[in-house]
Amino acid sequence: MPVLSLHQPLSPRSIPRPAPPPPMPTPARHVSSHALLAGERELVIQHQGSEYHLRLTRNGKLILTK
């Protein structure tokens, strides 16, 4: 690593540059529960070899179970 002296002018290469900002995250997709359930009360989602059940309760809430 080169040693900087107070008597030498700094070259642009010796001045550390700030790291570039991280890339902006991609916004999440929005899908309505009505579009997913398509009038049904339950939907089965297959993910990595497992099945998950998305159910619409009588109170209008969603429950996801394995």
Consecutive H or E run containing 34? helix 33-37
Contact call for residues 54 and 41 (beta carbons, < 8 A): no
Segment (H or E) for 37: helix 33-37
Entry pTM? 0.59
Q: Are 42 and 55 in contact (CB under 8 A)?
A: yes
| pLDDT tens digits, one per residue of 1-58 | 556 556 666 666 667 888 888 888 899 999 999 999 999 999 999 999 999 999 999 9
Pair 44, 51: CB distance under 8 Å: yes
